[in-house]
């Protein structure tokens, strides 16, 4: 059987020194049925480097203008022929099994659209003599797939991702205005269409060649400008790929307003700032106020007809909104961090019908989040009632508490971290251990990450006996310099110098460039 074709996309800008290494790592994959699309996005010429490889699998796109990563990706998407698509930074590298491991995992799970491995984050200083000293190599992020977390924060590194080609058709083109967190923009949209598989292999390395704050990487430069960074964040959170989104509910936020006052503007700005799930805000008001609505991808004006009640206009708005969930808020509503996330999360997780969850930190009467269809039925059955009363009369149960908390894994991490910072290392180790069991049924156990954290706390607590089996297993399953170093220390303390020496040398060998 022929292995499926895999397209690897590599966009490059002023990285002549590292580009050859990146290309070699792609062409040296165990999965050989691949094409490599190299797109020069302005900067230093690299044609000579490409020609040196003399490999027909390389497709070279040579653009003199620096158009940005998003624009380059869009061009590469149009050229990619593979059944699977992967990405590599121009100064990063794949380990030889990366594509094979990811493709095999997805071939075995046809319903899953994407897979990702872990990457070693490599930091290095370049001396005045040009020599490179690697300062550290760690797995900074190794997190099991969590769709809601992805809406909030990216935990899938672009260079570790392999996905099916058809996802690109679903998510649409990249927004070329986004210059920071471009990977997240893509992954976040993919999360609306598919599950991801997290594979515990180390798929490669991504590099940072400067410990100082002076990295010349375009995305790093922009990241340092908070205004630009925040604008990008808002833009990404406002992205709405073409529907249907089989994996992610859409939420309609309805805001009745007779005019666009300062309070209304503030609520709209706060919604953009603090809402991390996909949403559309409908401001329900008279036609003559429409032009005052600030321009936004995620806010629309819904016209309240003359002499029409707000209840009637809200019902029509609900009927026309293309959303799964809906809430009706007030210009005095409190919109701050976490205001709607828990309600969306719980409604999305719940199998219960006719249930509504409250928005957090709201003044009375607390608005709730409903399933849109259920609220429509209730309002149609009880015309003239306020949406909340209609929902109550229609048998929708207004819950006052959340059965589950979004980002609860992170809550556990915080508990463990607090214990560790107060030198309660035994307790921190127990928390880490418990988290694996608690979250494993939901496939968020993060067993390797938690085992490493647990081992660190055992060492801090002086419990080498408990740390040893954990580190031994980690050193076998997925060694990193940090793990080998810690294990070497344990062997030293146990009077086993040969094992210690071997581990020190292994750790140091991994830290070579």
Partner 1 sequence: MSTPNQHYAILMDAALFEIEERNFPAARAHLELARYGNPTSPAPLIALGFVHHAEGNRESAAGQFSDACRLAPNDPLPRICLAELEAQGEGFHNAAIGADKILHGLPNDKLAILAMLQFRDCSGETKRAAAELAGFVRRTGDHGLAKAVADLLRYCGQDKDAVAMEAMA
Binding residues for partner 1, rule: CB under 8 A, are 125, 127, 131, 133-138, 211, 452, 455-456, 480-483, 485-486, 488-489, 492-493, 497, 500-501, 504-505, 507-508, 511
CA pair distance 11, 68, nearest whole angstrom: 9
Q: Which is nearer to partner 1, 36 or 507 (CB)?
A: 507
- Smallest separation, CB 20 to partner 1 (Å): 24
How far is CA 313 from its chain centroid?
37
CA pair distance 290, 300, nearest whole angstrom: 9
Q: Which is nearer to partner 1, 137 or 170 (CB)?
A: 137
- Smallest separation, CB 94 to partner 1 (Å): 23
CA pair distance 145, 488, nearest whole angstrom: 32
CA pair distance 228, 195, nearest whole angstrom: 30
Taking alpha carbons only, the member of 218, 196, 102 closest to residue 148 is 196
Distance in Å from the first CA to the final CA of the chain: 37
C-alpha separations of 398 from 332, 356, 445 in Å: 21, 5, 32
Please say whether the beta carbons of 162 and 82 come within 8 A: no
Q: Which is nearer to partner 1, 78 or 497 (CB)?
A: 497
- Smallest separation, CB 213 to partner 1 (Å): 14
Q: Which is nearer to partner 1, 326 or 451 (CB)?
A: 451
How far is CA 450 from its chain centroid?
20
- Smallest separation, CB 135 to partner 1 (Å): 5
Bridge partners (DSSP) listed for residue 325: 251, 371
Residues 6+ apart with CB under 8 A from 450: 432, 433, 435, 436
Q: Which is nearer to partner 1, 100 or 489 (CB)?
A: 489
- Smallest separation, CB 134 to partner 1 (Å): 6
Q: Which is nearer to partner 1, 52 or 513 (CB)?
A: 513
Taking alpha carbons only, the member of 334, 231, 321, 336 closest to residue 283 is 321
Q: What is the DSSP letter of 200?
A: E
CA pair distance 99, 113, nearest whole angstrom: 14
- Smallest separation, CB 24 to partner 1 (Å): 24
- Smallest separation, CB 419 to partner 1 (Å): 18
- Smallest separation, CB 513 to partner 1 (Å): 11
C-alpha separations of 361 from 263, 338, 369 in Å: 17, 9, 14
Q: Which is nearer to partner 1, 52 or 140 (CB)?
A: 140
- Smallest separation, CB 208 to partner 1 (Å): 13
- Smallest separation, CB 11 to partner 1 (Å): 29
State residue 61 phi and psi, 5-degree precision. -110, 120
Q: Which is nearer to partner 1, 392 or 473 (CB)?
A: 473
Q: 118-127: string of b/e by CB count within 10 Å (b at 16+)? A: bbbbbbbeee
Q: Which is nearer to partner 1, 80 or 474 (CB)?
A: 474
DSSP string, 88-155: --TT-EE-TTHHHHHHHHHHS-TT--EEEEEEEEEEEEE-TTS-EEEEEEE--------HHHHHHS--
Q: Which residue has the tokens 């206009």?
A: 313
Q: Which is nearer to partner 1, 392 or 478 (CB)?
A: 478
Q: Which is nearer to partner 1, 190 or 490 (CB)?
A: 490
Q: Which is nearer to partner 1, 297 or 424 (CB)?
A: 424
CA pair distance 473, 477, nearest whole angstrom: 6
Peptide bond before 112: cis, by omega within 30 degrees of 0? no
Q: Which residue has the tokens 């990563």?
A: 69
**Structure tokens that stand for 276 in this block:** 């991390």
- Smallest separation, CB 458 to partner 1 (Å): 12
- Smallest separation, CB 424 to partner 1 (Å): 15
């Amino acid at each position: 059987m022929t292995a499926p074709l895999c397209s690897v996309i590599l966009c490059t800008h002023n990285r002549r020194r590292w580009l050859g290494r990146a290309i070699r790592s792609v062409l040296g994959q165990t999965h050989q049925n691949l094409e490599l699309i190299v797109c020069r996005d302005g900067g230093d010429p690299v044609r000579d480097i490409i020609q040196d490889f003399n490999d027909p699998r390389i497709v070279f796109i040579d653009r003199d203008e620096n158009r940005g990563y998003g624009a380059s990706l869009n061009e590469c998407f149009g050229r990619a022929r593979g059944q699977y698509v992967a990405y590599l930074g121009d100064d990063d590298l794949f380990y030889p099994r990366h594509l094979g491991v990811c493709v095999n995992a997805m071939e075995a799970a046809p319903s899953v659209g994407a897979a990702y491995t872990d990457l070693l984050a490599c930091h290095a200083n370049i001396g005045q003599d040009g020599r490179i000293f690697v300062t550290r190599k760690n797995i900074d992020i190794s997190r099991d797939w969590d769709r809601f977390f992805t809406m909030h924060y990216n935990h899938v590194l672009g260079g570790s991702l392999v996905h099916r080609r058809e996802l690109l058709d679903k998510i649409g083109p990249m927004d070329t205005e986004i210059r920071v967190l471009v990977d997240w923009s893509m992954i976040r949209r993919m999360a609306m269409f598919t599950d991801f598989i997290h594979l515990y292999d180390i798929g490669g390395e991504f590099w940072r060649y400067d410990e100082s704050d002076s990295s010349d990487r375009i995305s790093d430069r922009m990241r340092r400008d908070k205004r630009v960074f925040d604008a990008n964040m808002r833009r990404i959170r406002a992205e709405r790929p073409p529907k249907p989104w089989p994996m992610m509910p859409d939420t309609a936020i309805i805001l009745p307003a007779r005019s666009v006052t300062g309070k209304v503007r503030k609520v709209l700005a706060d919604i953009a700032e603090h809402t991390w799930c996909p949403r559309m805000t409908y401001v329900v008001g008279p036609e003559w106020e429409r032009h005052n609505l600030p321009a936004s991808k995620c806010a629309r004006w819904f016209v309240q007809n003359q002499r029409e009640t707000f209840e009637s206009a809200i019902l029509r708005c609900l009927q026309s909104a293309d959303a799964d969930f809906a809430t009706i808020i007030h210009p005095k509503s409190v919109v701050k961090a976490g205001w709607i996330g828990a309600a969306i999360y719980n409604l999305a997780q719940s199998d219960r019908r006719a249930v509504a969850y409250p928005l957090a930190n709201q003044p009375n009467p607390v608005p709730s989040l409903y399933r849109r269809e259920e609220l429509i039925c209730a309002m149609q059955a009880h015309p003239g009632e306020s949406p909340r009363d209609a929902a109550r009369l229609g048998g929708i149960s207004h819950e006052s508490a959340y059965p589950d908390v979004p980002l609860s894994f992170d809550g556990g991490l915080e508990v463990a971290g607090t214990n560790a910072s107060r030198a309660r290392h035994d307790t921190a180790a127990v928390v880490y251990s418990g988290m694996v069991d608690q979250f494993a049924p939901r496939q968020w156990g993060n067993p390797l990450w938690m085992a490493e954290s647990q081992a660190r706390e055992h060492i801090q607590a002086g419990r080498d006996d408990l740390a040893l089996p954990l580190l031994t297993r980690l050193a076998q399953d997925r060694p990193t310099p940090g793990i080998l170093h810690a294990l070497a220390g344990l062997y030293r303390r146990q009077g086993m110098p040969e094992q210690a020496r071997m581990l020190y040398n292994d750790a140091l060998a991994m830290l070579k460039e």
